[in-house]
Structure 1
Amino acid sequence: MSRIRIKKITHPFNAVVEVPGSKSVTNRALLLAALSNEECTLNGVLFSDDSRHFITCLLSLGFKMQVNEVERYVTVKGCDGNIPKKEATIDVGSAGTAARFLTSMLALSDGTYTINASEQMKRRPMLPLFEALESLGASFTYLEEKGHLPVKVVGARVGGKIPANKVYIDISKSTQFLSALLMTAPMLQDGLKVQITSKKTSGSYINITMNMMRQFGCEVFHNESVYDVPADEHYRSSTYQIEPDVSAACYFYGAAAITGGRALVKNVHSNVMQGDMKFLDVLKQLGCAVTEEREGICVTGPYNGEFNGIDIDMNDFSDQTMTLAAIAPFAKTSTTIRNIGHIRLQESDRIKSIVTELTNLGIEVKEYEDRIDITPGKIKPGVVGTHDDHRMAMAFALIGLVVDGIEIDDYECCGKTFENYFQVLDYACRQ
């Protein structure tokens, strides 16, 4: 594993940066384009480990595509809900979106497929989605551990069968289960009604899913715990623009907060649909000024980077838990981050990863099942373990901008979503 030392800056962060396209939007758009009834060109595509796995999977399934990483676009020839190859093997790598979305697509098809995954993805939850898809008529053979990838799937439409059109699912472990079902619902002749059985019934990523389905011409009706995709819906869009990744933008906004500096991220505007926009409200509560300019949204940190801690529920934008956790030791008072138990089931047990790494740096952290309490303190130099988690690598790099002697181990894991993050951060620090 490789290691990088973060260079402490002696001045407030002051930079204009551009971030890649959103992973969440990119992989949803790839799926919707493949299921559409026409050729679609996606612009501003994120090229990273996750999106490349998604693209490779679609190619393995026989979809005709033109991929241009230099100009950041992908053209997909949609097959109107049909999969060109009726037998194939795909590898989703560590991409949760690819794992959940493509599993649903293959399970509602008329083919037989094998789905492989990385060791990391094999540990992540899949059983609620498998069980829901089985209730619609698909069948799964577990090739290793029950309820986990890898699997062999026989599609619900094999032999001309008509799948059921109502399904029940618990989304407390991942809202991607619901997104997968909704986006693949137009593959079903009679549409699909989804009844949520968990206390959690919605979320920001589900909103992204429904917005994008509408942008591709497919309506979703939502009433409390029920989601309904009518019969005879079809995706269609000749072009689609991918939004910049707000999750990535927030690391630079965080740098402005802890140094009393300024960060403008190009093309991030208030009309983007990603839930991590809520992190801007957190930064406001920390004393930052947030303004929208022609080029993008700008965050100016509090004077001298001084701010109080916060008590916040981050359930609906939990990808920024690591960012706030990296900022919290520099506050004047304690920080509590609540309702984040589900992040234990992501790329790493993110609660335990945060507690382990902050503790190793000399910060007092109290760990609970679904929350953490962080007490400000003097950070000592040290090596941050990333736990093969891209967000741990990117967020905890912020600490090194303020404290000398911080190194990030296995920093290249950020290739999952932002492969040149550390080069962009270094350049931004020198502006």
Structure 2
Amino acid sequence: MTTYEVPMMKRKMKDIIKVPGSKSLSNRVLLLAAKSEGTSVVSGVQFSDDTRHFLQSLRDLGYELEIDEKNYQVTVHGCGRDIPKKKATIDVGSAGTGARFLTSFLAFSDGEYEIQCSEQMKKRPMKELFHTLEDLGVSFRYLEEKGHLPIKLRGLFALSDEASSEENELQAEKIAQKTYQLELDISRSTQYLTAWLLTFAGSGVVGKIRVTSEKKTGTYIRMTMDLLKDFGVPVTFDGDTYVVDGREPIKVQDYQIEVDMSGACYFYAAAAILGGEVEVENVRRDLHQGDLKFLDVLEQMGCKVEEGEKGLRLKSPVETNHYVIHDAEGKERQYRFPVLHGVHINMNQFSDQALTLAAIAPFADSVTEITGIAHIRGQECDRIHAIIDNLSTLGIRVEELEDGIRIYPLEEAAYCDRLSITFARQGLNKHLIHTYEDHRVAMSFTLTGLRIPGIVIENPECCRKTFENYFEIWDELQHD
């Protein structure tokens, strides 16, 4: 097992950081470009495990792509409504976007396909999306566990040599149909809805999706709707039903992917707990991404956000506390860290940052309560359990709520001294963070290790899913 030992930062931050493009936007734009009727150049693409699986899946379906990783660019030769290969096997890896988007896309086709995935993705929820396939009459079968990938399917419009003439007549009627209606529960994932919004775009039909869950929308849904409008696809929402007019072809265009706000948040959070300031290139207040709201949380904790030369700049609170901390070897070290305030916040609309806030909450001067995140139990891992497990093992008080967590502040100098004594008694000088192979657990708890000595991240390679050079950036910052 490989590990990454997080070195305590011995300086305030005063850095300009460059992070990759948005994975969420990359996969959405790549699919729309493939469905357009011409050639599109997509710039700022994030190259990571998730996007590489998505790109390879498009290639396995017969799409012609020119990939230039050095310049973060992909040229996509779109095929309109036609998927080049009528029979293929794809592997979406651990990408929830790839799994959901491509399942609905291939279900609404005239081909036969097998969708494989990683062991991690096999455990993630897909049931609600499969219900829509059943409602439409798509023929598919589970290859392993019911309600989960992998599956094999025959697209809604595929005619079969083995089917009876009556069955093929029914298929012909489906092909002639001009409007399709679905009902969908998005309480566990808004990716189900995004999948069908993207599928109906440029499909030649009108798609109507009535959302049956209490949750009707979200930041990622609004991102998708804005993106569809950018590509010339008419889409509306009346508070209950989404309507996509897919009769017009998707507009061919070159597209610049936004910077990945999810990745940027880790560096803003680091400045908040270490002191100083940080600027992340190309982060603007008008980004489509919901994680931009995390900057509002940091402002509530006492930070200040302003326009910088290359992107938004965050400055830590001016007020600081002085700490004398003994490290694992017993050496006395002196630090001044910013005074952050605890917050009570509903993070339902930007829940990817719940882990980030949880990782820095122990350094606040009062209790932090995060709610609206019950659904993160079903993501790459049970993220609420991962937070409680890792904070509790570190000796930090944390309580599980029905839809979130409550985290108590620590007496930092005394805590770190106790930790050093514990390490010494056990003959240890490290504490292992269990990542559960979840990239966001690994990246978030790296922040905790910037202020608590002896933190080691298990399986840092899991960050390849969305942010390949994350730890390289931290190593560079340590030596600046």
Residue of structure 1 in register with 2:475 after alignment: 426
Structure 1's 273 and 236: CA in aligned 2 closer, same or farther, altered over 3 A?
same
Deviations 1:221-257 (A, max 9, x none): 1110210012413212320000000000000000000
Q: Which amino acid counterpart does residue 468 of structure 2 have in structure 1?
A: E
Structure 1: stretches of 5+ with no match in the other structure = none
Number of the residue aligned with 2:69: 69
- 1:243-291 CA distances to partner (integer Å, 9 max, x unpaired)? 0000000000000000122110011111111000000100000000100
1:302, CA displacement in angstroms? 1.1
Tell me the equivalent position of 2:258.
243
- Aligned-residue CA RMSD (Å): 1.2
CA distance in 2, matches of 1:201, 1:327: 31
SS in 1 for 2:216: coil
Q: Counterpart of 2:89 in 1: which secondary structure?
A: strand
Superposed displacement of residue 138, structure 1: 1.6
Deviations 1:381-415 (A, max 9, x none): 51111110000101110111111111111011000
1:313 to 339, 346, 354: 346
1:353 pairs with one of 386, 395, 410: 386
Shift of 1:428: 2.6
- Partners of 1:63 and 1:78 within 8 A in 2: yes
Q: By how many angstroms is 1:325 displaced?
A: 0.3
CA distance in 1, matches of 2:253, 2:409: 51
Amino acid at match of 2:461: E
Q: What is the match of residue 395 of structure 1?
A: 444
Query: Aligned letter for 2:379?
Result: Q
Q: 5+ unaligned residues in a row in structure 2: which ranges?
A: 160-171, 321-337, 420-429
Give the Cα separation in 1 of the matches to 2:246 and 2:190. Answer: 23
1:231–1:412: structure 2 CA closer, same or farther, 3 Å change rule?
Answer: closer
Q: Is 1:328 matched with 2:361? A: yes
Q: Secondary structure of the residue that 2:201 maps to in structure 1? A: helix
**1:375 correspondence with 2:390:** no
Structure 2 counterpart of 1:334, one-letter code = V
2:234 equivalent among 200, 219, 229: 219
2:243 corresponding residue in structure 1: 228
**Partner SS state of residue 357, structure 1:** helix
Deviation digits for residues 91-150 of structure 1 (CA, Å, limit 9, x no counterpart): 000000000000011000000100001110001111111111232232220111111000
Q: Which moved more, 1:56-65 or 1:216-225?
A: 216-225
Alpha-carbon contact 2:202-2:233 (below 8 Å) kept? no
Count matched residues.
431
Aligned residue in 2 for 1:178: 193
- Note if contact 1:390-1:413 (Cα within 8 Å) is conserved in structure 2: yes
2:311 paired residue among 296, 303, 311: 296
Quick check: 188-197 or 118-127, which moved more?
188-197
Runs (4+) off by over 6 Å: none
Partner secondary structure for residue 234 of structure 1: coil
Q: Mapping of 1:7-86 within 5 angstroms?
A: 7-86=7-86
Once residues 346 and 75 of structure 1 are traced to their aligned partners in structure 2, the CA distance between those partners, rounded to angstroms, is 31
Give me the whole-angstrom Cα distance separating, in 2, the residues matched to 1:38 and 1:294.
Answer: 37
Tell me how far apart the structure 1 counterparts of residues 389 and 452 of structure 2 sit (CA, whole Å).
18
Q: Which amino acid aligns with 1:242?
A: I
1:398 counterpart SS class: helix
Q: Say if 2:462 is the partner of 1:413.
A: yes
1:15 and 1:429 in contact (8 A); partners too: no
- Which of 159, 162, 165 aligns to 2:180? It is 165
Larger C-alpha radius of gyration, 1 or 2?
Answer: 2
- Larger mean CA deviation between 159-168 and 294-303 belongs to 159-168
CA contact (8 A) 1:41 1:75 kept: yes
Q: Which residue in 1 is equivalent to 2:122? A: 122
Please state whether the residue corresponding to 2:407 is helix, strand or coil.
Answer: strand
Q: Are residue 195 (structure 1) and residue 228 (structure 2) matched?
A: no
Q: Matched residue of 1:402: which SS?
A: coil
Q: CA deviation at 1:294?
A: 3.0
- What is the CA-CA distance between 1:430 and the residue it aligns to? 3.4
* 3-state SS of 1:394 partner: helix
Contact 2:115 2:151 in 1 (8 A): yes
TM-score (norm 1): 0.98
CA offset at residue 158 of structure 1?
A: 1.1
1:321-343 superposed Cα distances (whole Å, 9 cap, x missing partner): 01000110001111000010000
Contact 1:165 1:192 in 2 (8 A): yes
Q: Report deviation, 1:12.
A: 1.4
Alignment match, 1:136? 136
CA positional deviation for 1:373: 0.4
2:328 is matched with which residue? none
Structure 1 residue 187 displacement after superposition: 4.9
Residue 94 of structure 2 is matched in structure 1 by 94
CA distance in 1, matches of 2:52, 2:440: 18
Question: Does structure 1 conserve the Cα–Cα contact (< 8 Å) formed by 2:202 and 2:246?
Answer: no
TM-score, reference length from structure 2: 0.88
Contact kept? 1:270, 1:292, Cα under 8 Å: no
Aligned residues of 1:123 and 1:148 also touching (Cα < 8 A): yes
CA distance in 1, matches of 2:247, 2:37: 12
- Contact (CA 8 Å) 2:201, 2:228: kept in 1 or not? no
